[in-house]
Chains A and B, each alone.
Chain A
Amino acid sequence: MSIDLDLRHYLSIIRKRVWLLIAIVILSTTVTGVVSYKYLQPVYQAYTKLIVNSANDKPGMVQLDLNAINTNISLINTYKEIIRTPAIMDKVVAQHPEFKVTTDELMRNINFTSVNGTQVVTLSYPSTNYKAAARIVNAISEVFQAQIPNIMKVDNVYLLHMANENKQPAPIKPNPKLNMAIMFVLSFMFGIGLVLLLDYFDDRIKSEADVERYLGLPTLVQIPSIRQVDLRGAQKTKTTAKAGEQSRAAN
């Protein structure tokens, strides 16, 4: 029962400042929407797919034993680290000065993922310009493929799929709807917190219960604010009475 009362108490506190809560939620969600749609530059992502597979020493012989596959899969982790080294990236920058990117930028942005248990690796690169992203990720893949035999003494990286720079895919971010949904929830929580905090710091005596609790005095009456309407009530009744009299006189 006390939980029930508590809940009702909180609800009444929130209801008292519900306009504040609504204002915060609407304002922050709208601002997020406007910023996401109008001001944030869309970011695109280009990707290439590589496969890591040991070269067949003996042509014409099918060599697909589980050990070899496992070896390749564990190699993927090694490659993941190799690609993020200047050994690869410096070469990309040197070969393609037109990208106007630094080694650090490339190392920070390149994404190297592989689905567990497969030999396929996805290299992806985000940019506000899809064409640039496609060219960069293609260049990285090519340099990587060319450099691996030098580094690992094994030529086992093949390009499966190159990014097509003429395609224009949907941007990966921003996602305005998701941003707005997140902001809606966040601002709602923030608003409720603010309302409760304001009530906590509000030390006015607002109700009969407050009078009893803080002053220990009985409340004899609660007088609402007098509005102009309340004063005009008397005149209204007067005019209707007059109208009634007139109609009676007419009869």
Chain B
Amino acid sequence: MQPTNQFSVSNTRPIITDLNPLSPISEAYRTLRTNLQYAGVDRSLQLLMVTSASPREGKTTTINNLAAAYAQADKSVLLIDADLRKPTAHQTFQLSNRCGLTHVLAGNASAREAVKETHIRNLSVMPSGSIPPNPSELLASRKMDLLLDELRQMFDLVLIDTPPVLAVSDAQIMASRCDGVLLVINAKSVKRQHALKARDALHFVQAKIVGVAMNQTAASELNGYYSYMQASAE
């Protein structure tokens, strides 16, 4: 089940799990996948949201790679780009953004129309659609609940990309509808106070934070395993 490499390295957000599955970083995403499976023992994690405290912490990179890792494990995965402020999924997966989440929420399209296959087997993406003037209201709408229920029937796993928690309320709105929230923390940039605020904001809407993905940790922490990985790759 090796996915074909259609992407050039020059792509803005390469998906390393897809491009280089033997890399220790891909291994990290598979570890995340495994840990998430065990984190949701009491309640199955079918709707998983990924967010962070502040922008540029690596939410989208994490969710893309995680989605690819799940897809490689033969699960039907849908990635929803609910970051209606700065959507990127259509660029990363080179899809049309003509019909996406906002069109479904506006009643202009059906869920099936908005879901698009990608070059990675088992992985579908629902791009954001055109950027609306009122993202929070759209995400909080009754239509959103219906859409999520419908998608639950269609896919094993739905991953939702959202804007940062501290910037706008979108992430909080989505968090209350998801089975779990994965908080991405950038080890290089995030301030303790911001991370705390983000956690409290999510707790406030009764979201279940399943755990933290530490992003951009020092590579030296993995070096020990790296030689092992390379050896097994030979």
Contacts and interface: CB of A to CB of B under 8 A. Distances in A.
Contact of B212 (A217, A232, A233, A237): A217
Contacts of A232: 9, 20
A62 interface: no
Q: A208, A222, A228 — which one has the most chain B CB atoms within 10 A of its CB?
A: A222
A117 interface: no
Interface in B84-120: none
B16 A231 contact: yes
A64 interface: no
Interface stretch (B23-31, B130-138, B155-163, B169-177): B23-31
B227 interface: no
A207 interface: yes
Contacts of A218: 39, 211-212
Contacts of B192: 203-205, 210, 214
Contacts of B218: 224
B9 A223 contact: no
B147 interface: no
A248 B22 CA distance: 24
B35 A220 contact: yes
Contacts of B20: 230-234
B196 A214 contact: yes
A205 B35 contact: no
Given A222-B214, A224-B24, A214 B195 contact: yes
A223 B196 CA distance: 20
A230 B199 contact: no
Given A217-B209, A217-B211, A231-B9, A223 B62 contact: yes
Interface in A190-244: 203-208, 210-211, 214-215, 217-228, 230-235, 237-238
B196 A215 contact: yes
A206 B214 CA distance: 8
A169 to B, nearest CB: 55
Given A207-B187, A214-B192, A230-B20, A220 B212 contact: yes
Contact of A221 (B35, B195, B209): B35
A225 B212 CA distance: 16
Contacts of A230: 16, 20, 23-25
Q: B20, B28, B188 — which one has the most chain A CB atoms within 10 A of its CB?
A: B20
Contacts of A223: 25, 28-29, 32, 58, 62, 213-217
Interface of A: 203-208, 210-211, 214-215, 217-228, 230-235, 237-238
Given A207-B214, A221-B214, 11 more contacts: A204-B189, A205-B195, A214-B196, A215-B212, A221-B32, A222-B187, A223-B62, A224-B24, A226-B25, A232-B9, A234-B22
5 contacts: A205-B187, A224-B25, A224-B28, A233-B22, A238-B5
